[in-house]
Structure 1
């Protein structure tokens, strides 16, 4: 038997099952049937579905688990964002002590056939793609040797920790991050072309110059969305194939053999 109760904002559907059993188990809802045999129980079980979500709720365990997972995810995001902004500020501070001789030069786009590919001054897609691939050879993530002419001035840059706009800020962050690295290795593994974007799959590892010499290692891919008006990159979205907190833990883990020194 099914009973449905409807309130202004909540629908509760209850399904009532009846069955006879020979021995009394621990049950929340039960009553003794005195019609035939006093050793038998007439068990009534009520299961209710709340809110039309399609699930049946017998207790509060599912709600508690969901709440705990949400809280844990929010805390992980907060820690990652805190570490991201802290590294940005640390990079800015380190740049104040960096010699001007170590400042990276800004590559420029080398146009084929004298420049743009159309009368609308849209840069040819192949030129942008070749430029990005050349930037990978320069490990632009950690050197700051990025070709800013391949990006819109207000290009959006996003990664698992957050996002911001401005190619100048991106170049500065990459340059400053590079000053915190002892050595690094970055390689473009595969390139894919789509209608509105290109995707570069990469592999990256580095040893940080912190006293405990942590090692960061990851694979991932970056989406380069191209503007229809200029042909330049208007969105640069990084995806890391490691859990968010794994990167944070790598940053805090001393290099193997560090404590034996």
Structure 2
């Protein structure tokens, strides 16, 4: 029993040590002004300084139902590829919308768009929409696949993975929260984000 406890403690110490390394690497990225591309599971971190929350886009499209919002998001994902380009319909998102994924947690549409603009290389990154539907009066859910390259100096490659997004609408019908879960862990995402890629970039799927 004692040996088993010691083994469990050793495993815990190993995890703790690895986390310290990950935190240090993420800190270095933030220190040089790079947004965090990843972290570890279930501990989303705020993105680095991205400026104050400010109004973006035109007049907000309030009063839309979940089905109507789903139709707009379908275009934004399938055509606009907004996870890698930032080309989304700003008018359906609240300016203080919260964006959460396994690695980052940021409040503010303007901040989110700033982060997207300095993250993926849109020429070699792609979003494949697998499905989107309204699942309630104030919820829309989407399934998708994403892969590509980050614009960091060491040319990291993000191998294709699948994700699920839940959009929550507020009382006015605007998207108040976008929450993602992924088929890969945050640790895997971090490893990819700090792994150099050599040779020319190419389409991954």
TM-score (norm 2): 0.69
Which of 210, 224, 244 is matched with 2:167 structurally? 224
> In the alignment, what sits opposite 2:156?
214
Report which of the two has the higher share of strand.
1
Alignment match, 2:130 = 189
The DSSP-based 3-state class of the residue aligned with 2:63 is coil
Which residue number corresponds to residue 147 of structure 1? 89
Any idea what the Cα deviations from partners look like across 1:114-133, whole Å, max 9, x if unmatched? Answer: xxxxxxx6222222111111
Query: Closer, same or farther in 2 for the Cα pair 1:168/1:219, shift >3 Å?
Result: same
> Which residue pairs with 1:246 in the alignment?
188
Q: How many matched pairs?
A: 176
Contact between 2:119 and 2:152, CA under 8 Å: does it hold in 1? no
Q: Which one scores higher on RCO, CA 8 angstroms, separation ≥ 6?
A: 2
CA distance in 1, matches of 2:24, 2:140: 27
Q: Which runs of 5 or more structure 2 residues have no equivalent in the other structure?
A: 36-55, 201-205
How many angstroms apart in 1 are the aligned matches of 2:155 and 2:197? 5
Partner of residue 15, structure 1: none
Structure showing greater radius of gyration is 1
Alignment-derived partner of residue 72 in structure 1: 15
Post-superposition CA distance 1:170-229 (Å, at most 9, x none): 111112224x555111111122432242211111111234565332022111111122x1
CA shift, 1:232, in A, is: 1.4
Alpha carbons of 1:186 and 1:84: their partners in 2 closer, same or farther (altered >3 Å)? Answer: farther
**In 2, distance between residues paired with 1:73 and 1:232?**
40
Correspondences of 1:152-167 after superposition (within 5 Å): 152-167=94-109
Q: Is the CA contact (8 Å cut-off) linking 1:160 and 1:240 kept in structure 2?
A: yes
For the structure 1 residues 257 and 176, does the alpha-carbon distance in structure 2 shift closer, same or farther, using more than 3 Å as the test? closer
Give the direction of change, closer, same or farther, for the CA distance of 1:139–1:81 in structure 2 (3 Å limit).
farther
Give the 3-state SS of the residue equivalent to 1:131 in structure 2.
Answer: helix
Give 1:256 shift.
6.2
- The answer to whether the Cα contact below 8 Å between 1:138 and 1:145 also exists between their aligned partners in 2 is yes
Q: Secondary structure at the match of 1:69?
A: helix
What's the TM-score once normalised by structure 1's chain length?
0.56
Structure 1 unaligned runs (5+)? 1-57, 92-105, 112-120
Paired residue for 2:73? 132
Partner in structure 1 of residue 34 of structure 2: 90
SS at match of 2:173: coil
Whether the 8 Å CA contact 1:139–1:145 is kept in 2: the answer is yes
Q: 2:66, 2:139 within 8 Å by CA — same for their partners in 1?
A: no
Partner of 2:100: helix, strand, or coil? strand
Instruction: State the Cα RMSD in Å.
Output: 3.3
- Residue 68 of structure 1 deviates from its aligned partner by 2.9
DSSP-derived class of the 1:213 partner: coil
